[in-house]
Amino acid sequence: MNQWDGLEYDPKHIEHCFFYGDIPPEGEKENYRIFTIRQEDREEIIGILSVYHGYPTFDSVYITFLYIGTELQGKGFGKETEAQLCKEIIKLGFEHIRVNIAIKNWQAIRFWTVAGFNGISGIYGDKVHSEDTFANIELMKSLNMRNIYQEFSESR
């Protein structure tokens, strides 16, 4: 990930998230959840998803982390996870979902925009592009039923 965001790999990051959460400023741990992702027919964990609900607005969910094992990427597990997450948070009454992506991570930008994250709600980081500068883009997806139906129809 260093090539995308300039941050050094921290092997204790997931452990920290599990015990303390990946919480925004003035956030509360009660609004944070971390989930394991498994294939239906297998017992082993194939990925991790963490979300924070109620940030930046009360009707929003923020995906703080989604990872599918390298050998299983590109096989639809991320898409299925994102779709199931949207289905569940719609039931809970949330209207928006957001994700923050390193601008240099083309694979992630492509994944999230194909999943319907079309609104740009922020760009953060360095203002000049170079090999040694880094920035993130925050993408947003509306969860109203009309948009969900339209996306479903277009994917068929």
Model pLDDT, residue 3: 59
Instruction: Centre a 10 Å sphere on the Cβ of residue 74 and count the other Cβ atoms it contains.
Output: 12
* Residue-range domains of the chain with CATH: 2-155 (3.40.630.30)
Give 75-130 pLDDT, tens digit per residue. 999 999 999 999 999 999 999 999 999 999 999 999 999 999 999 999 999 999 88
CB proximity list for 111: less than 8 A, separation 6 or greater: 78, 79
- pLDDT band at residue 5 under the 50/70/90 scheme: low
CB proximity list for 68: less than 8 A, separation 6 or greater: 37, 46, 47, 77, 78, 81
Burial of 63 (0-12, 13-18, 19+ CB in 10 A): buried
Model pLDDT, residue 154: 58
